[in-house]
Each structure stands twice: as structure tokens, then as C-alpha cells.
Amino acid sequence: MNTQELIKIEDDYFINTFTRQPIVLDHGEGVKVTDIDGNE
């Protein structure tokens, strides 16, 4: 799945009580995090 597909699923099933950032985090190490598209 890519970022947009996961955000669409979240939009379909979660109550929009606050604004979410359009990213899907995959992992982190120290102070760096990486999204599922490989961006740090």
C-alpha cells in the first residue's frame, strides 16, 4: 500500500476529531523518522 491508500482507509474509518498530517510513518531511529515512501 502507498501513503494515499492508507490515508484513504484512515479517512473512511476514523472520526475526524483533529487534523492529521498526510504522512504514514514506517520506522524511526534516534531523532529521525522514515515514512513508507522512504522519505526522512
Tens-place pLDDT, residues 10-35: 899 988 888 888 889 999 999 999 99
Contact call for residues 26 and 35 (beta carbons, < 8 A): yes
Confidence band for 38, pLDDT divided at 50, 70 and 90 = very high
Residue matched to cell numbers 500500500: 1
Give the model's pLDDT for residue 35: 93
**How far apart, in whole angstroms, are the C-alpha atoms of residue 8 and residue 3?**
9
**How far apart, in whole angstroms, are the C-alpha atoms of residue 36 and residue 17?**
24
Give the model's pLDDT for residue 29: 95
Contacts of 9-12 with C-beta under 8 Å, sequence gap 24+, read none
**How far apart, in whole angstroms, are the C-alpha atoms of residue 21 and residue 32?**
17
